[in-house]
């Protein structure tokens, strides 16, 4: 049996990017896969509610967690082979996402560069199908390995099994809730082409006719550093709301009342609205409620100005949702997982 260094009444304040003070009844830093089976074989631990924790960058703690936190710290990354004109690269769940992306670039492999500087771990990347600057991980995904807490077995899931959607996957639904991601494999195209369809990224690269993957990554990093607060300086979980997707007819009606409405047509005829624009128009940018606030440079980001509780953030989020619903008839949905 592997060693199970279980801690009790463990502080999670430094393990979530919002910097919310919360504690876990039991805590295990998972550094090897057999620890998961061993934890489930322990009747006391198995009886507790479980929270799988990566970098804590997409979570909001609203209370102490009265259960077992499994903090994924599995490490390792490798080039796993070639298949169908792609190089397969694999990383363990606990690897830092941005470091992994930079490592692929250092190997001369393009594909993940638009997703540079997203906080968190490799294992959490498929959970909400992370995306930025016109790319999502589903576009380069090959397979992942999970530990199934129901059976105690490991198995491989392919893209269809993961049911990726906009900030969504099977892991966010009941069928996938008992699955712990152990490693993820990506297929990076040998014949790489830059993906600069996102206007802001194209502008940043203006003057470079044929940018390299490194140059695209640097442009993404520069934009993100300008726009987003660094969680090491000011607590936040990135975009707090998903961009709402509404039927085309609803968007038409909104455009009659609000001609400047920011919207992007989807292949199925629905329209994705810019949640940040809606919030900004309701006058929330830069406003605070208690110790929680709306980031002055980006209305989509809620911040902990120091000492905020999860409840402070929830109260602010509810007030924003109510205003956007009243003005636009659009329900904003939170992106982070509330614990």
Residue 167 falls in the annotated catalytic set: yes
β-strand pairing of 179-189 with 235-239? unpaired
Q: Which of 113, 169, 239, 271 is catalytic?
A: 239
Instruction: Report, in Å, the least distance between residue 311 CB and ligand FAD.
Output: 19
Q: What angle do CA 38, 28, 1 make, to 5 degrees?
A: 25
Find the part of the chain contacting ligand FAD (CB under 6 A) among 55-63, 189-197, 270-278, 317-325.
55-63
Contact status, residue 302 vs residue 294, Cβ threshold 8 Å:
yes
Tokens 């707090």 -> residue:
240
Angstrom distances, CA of residue 220 to CA of 18, 63, 200, 202, 215: 23, 35, 9, 10, 9
What distance in Å separates the CA atoms of residue 322 and residue 38, rounded to the nearest whole number? 46
C-alpha 194/C-alpha 186 separation (Å) is 17
Asked whether the beta carbons of 154 and 145 are under 8 A apart, the reply is yes
Residue 55 within binding range of ligand FAD, rule CB under 6 A: yes
CB of 60 to ligand FAD, least distance (A): 9
Catalytic one among 90, 136, 167, 204? 167
Residue 108 tokens read as 């001369």
Identify residues 249-308 at the interface with ligand FAD (CB under 6 A).
none
Residue 158 designated active-site = no
Judged by CB under 6 A, the residue of 72, 92, 251, 299 near ligand FAD is 72
Nearer to ligand FAD, 230 or 252 (CB): 230
**Least Å from the CB of residue 171 to ligand FAD:** 6
Can you list the alpha helix ranges (DSSP code H) found in 1-87? 34-41, 43-46
The continuous run of DSSP H or E covering 181 comes out as strand 179-189
Site for ligand FAD in 177-196 (CB under 6 A): 180-181
Which residues, 101 to 160, sit near ligand FAD by CB under 6 A? Answer: 118-121, 123-125, 127-128, 130-132
Positions annotated as catalytic residues are 167, 239, 335
Give the interface with ligand FAD as residue ranges (CB under 6 A).
Answer: 17, 51-59, 72, 93, 118-121, 123-125, 127-128, 130-132, 171, 180-181, 228, 231, 236-238, 337
């Amino acid at each position: 049996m592997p060693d199970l260094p279980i801690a009790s009444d463990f502080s999670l304040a430094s393990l979530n990017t919002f910097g919310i003070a919360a504690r876990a009844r039991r805590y295990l830093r998972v550094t090897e896969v057999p620890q998961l089976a061993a934890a489930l074989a322990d009747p006391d631990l198995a009886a507790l509610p479980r929270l799988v924790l990566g970098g804590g960058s997409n979570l909001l703690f609203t209370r102490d967690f009265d259960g077992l936190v499994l903090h994924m710290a599995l490490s390792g990354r490798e080039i796993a082979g070639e298949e169908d004109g792609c190089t397969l690269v694999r990383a363990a769940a606990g690897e830092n996402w941005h470091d992994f992306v930079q490592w692929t670039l250092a190997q001369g492999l393009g594909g993940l560069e638009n997703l540079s500087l997203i906080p968190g771990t490799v294992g959490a990347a498929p959970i909400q199908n992370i995306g930025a600057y016109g790319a999502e991980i589903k576009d380069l995904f090959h397979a992942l390995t999970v530990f199934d807490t129901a059976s105690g077995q490991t198995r491989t899931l392919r893209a269809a099994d993961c049911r990726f959607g906009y900030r969504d996957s099977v892991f966010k639904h009941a069928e996938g809730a008992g699955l712990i991601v152990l490693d993820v494999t990506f297929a990076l195209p040998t014949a790489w082409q830059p993906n600069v369809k996102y206007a802001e990224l194209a502008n940043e690269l203006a003057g470079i006719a044929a940018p390299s993957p490194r140059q695209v990554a640097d442009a993404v990093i520069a934009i993100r550093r300008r726009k987003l607060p660094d969680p090491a300086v000011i607590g936040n979980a990135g975009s707090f709301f998903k961009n709402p997707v509404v039927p085309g007819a609803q968007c038409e009606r909104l455009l009659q009342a609000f001609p400047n409405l920011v919207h992007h047509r989807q292949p199925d005829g629905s329209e994705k609205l810019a949640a940040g624009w809606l919030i900004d128009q309701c006058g929330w940018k830069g406003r605070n409620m208690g110790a929680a606030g709306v980031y002055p440079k980006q209305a989509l980001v809620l911040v902990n100005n120091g000492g905020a509780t999860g409840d402070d953030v929830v109260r602010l989020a509810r007030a924003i949702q109510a205003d956007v619903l009243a003005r636009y008839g659009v329900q904003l949905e939170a992106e982070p997982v509330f614990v």
